[in-house]
């Protein structure tokens, strides 16, 4: 079985103008050259065309932070998979807890988005995670399993082996609190076990599972070394060149 390639995926959220994004990428290109990780940056929609142009010739891939599942239509303010694919986007982050909380996204919507992204020739990064209350009540495993089961509904084994899942405990996002390596590993192992139940061990061994939730230059190496953690979905630290360089090279 070939080793899963570590992914260091930055999620910029609502940060950086197109000009700032290009300036950042131009500096990041040299730092990312030769990195063992697959380097991905999830940029705001308005930055995508400039960033796609800026990363040409480098090993950096570009993700969108959301998409609509319909190909076109009366969905003011939304963006389709076709628009992203034609722009040169490789990955699309879906199901982030901020999208679920602030914009009412459901597991069923995330499943529709996953289907549309795959059909368009891109790869979904599907987020899941529990609240502090859910963790304290001991329902983390059930909650995360349910999120992933619905998100993967109707997807084939081949499709699941190529996609990416990001476990992000909601209580650790932007709070500075990080799950311990053991806590993060425990839930990522639960996700991998679920994929094995649904699709078989071969598929579960190929599917990459990331950890997200206050990943930084100081904890990335230990997190990425865990057997079921295949990299990170990185928030604030992906906006800082020095920190993101350490993360993509996973050294402390």
More confident residue, 40 or 214: 40
Q: Is 96 known to be catalytic?
A: yes
Instruction: Tell me if residue 183 falls in helix, strand or coil.
Output: helix
Q: Helices 18-32 and 241-248, interaxial angle, to 10°?
A: 40
* pLDDT, position 28: 98
Q: Which of 96, 185, 245, 250 is catalytic?
A: 96
96-153 pLDDT tens trace: 999 999 999 999 999 999 999 999 999 999 999 999 999 999 999 999 999 999 999 9
Q: Which of 130, 159, 168, 185 is catalytic?
A: 168
Please state, rounded to an integer, the average pLDDT across all residues of the chain.
96
pLDDT at 251 over 90: no
What residue has token string 């998100």?
151
Structural domain boundaries of the chain? 7-248
Residue 159 half-sphere exposure, CB side, CA atoms within 13 Å?
19
d(CA 70, CA 131): 30
Q: How confident is the model at residue 13 (pLDDT cuts 50, 70, 90)?
A: very high
Candidates 3.40.190.10, 3.40.50.300, 3.40.1390.20, 3.20.20.70; correct CATH number of 7-248? 3.20.20.70
pLDDT at 177 over 90: no
* pLDDT, position 1: 44
DSSP state of 154: T
**Which of 252, 191, 195, 202 has the alpha carbon at shortest distance from 225?**
252
30-60 pLDDT tens trace: 999 989 899 999 999 999 999 999 999 999 9
* pLDDT, position 2: 56
Q: Who's near 120: CB < 8 A, 6+ residues apart? A: 81, 82, 84, 85
Tell the burial category of 72 from Cβ atoms under 10 Å away from its Cβ (0-12, 13-18, 19+).
Answer: exposed
Question: Residues 230, 235, 236, CA angle at the centre, nearest 5°?
Answer: 135
* pLDDT, position 193: 98
- Considering the chain, what percentage of its residues have pLDDT values greater than 90? 92
DSSP state of 217: T
pLDDT at 203 over 90: yes
d(CA 94, CA 4): 21
pTM for this prediction: 0.96
d(CA 21, CA 69): 26
**Which of 173, 244, 157 has the alpha carbon at shortest distance from 207?**
157
Instruction: Tell me if residue 95 falls in helix, strand or coil.
Output: coil
Q: Is 185 known to be catalytic?
A: no
pLDDT at 233 over 80: yes
């Amino acid at each position: 079985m070939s080793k899963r390639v570590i992914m260091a995926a930055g999620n910029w959220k609502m940060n950086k103008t197109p000009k700032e994004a290009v300036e950042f990428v131009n500096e990041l290109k040299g730092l990312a050259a030769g990195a063992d990780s697959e380097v991905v940056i999830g940029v705001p929609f308005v930055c995508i065309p400039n960033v796609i142009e800026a990363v040409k010739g480098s090993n950096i891939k570009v993700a969108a932070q959301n998409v609509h599942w319909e190909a076109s239509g009366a969905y003011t303010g939304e963006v389709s998979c076709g628009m992203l694919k034609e722009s040169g986007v490789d990955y699309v982050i879906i199901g982030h807890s901020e999208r679920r909380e602030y914009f009412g996204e459901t597991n069923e919507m995330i499943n529709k988005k996953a289907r549309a992204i795959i059909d368009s020739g891109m790869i979904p990064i599907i987020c899941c995670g529990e609240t502090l209350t859910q963790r304290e009540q001991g329902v983390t495993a059930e909650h995360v399993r349910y999120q992933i089961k619905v998100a993967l509904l109707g997807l084939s084994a081949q499709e699941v082996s190529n996609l990416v899942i990001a476990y992000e405990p909601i209580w650790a996002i932007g709070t500075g609190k990080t799950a311990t390596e053991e806590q993060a590993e425990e839930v990522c192992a639960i996700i991998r076990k679920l994929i094995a139940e649904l699709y078989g061990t071969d598929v579960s061994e190929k599917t990459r599972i990331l950890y997200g939730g206050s990943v930084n230059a100081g904890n990335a190496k230990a997190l990425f070394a865990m057997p079921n953690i295949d990299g990170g979905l990185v928030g604030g630290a992906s906006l800082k060149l020095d920190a993101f360089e350490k993360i993509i090279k996973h050294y402390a």
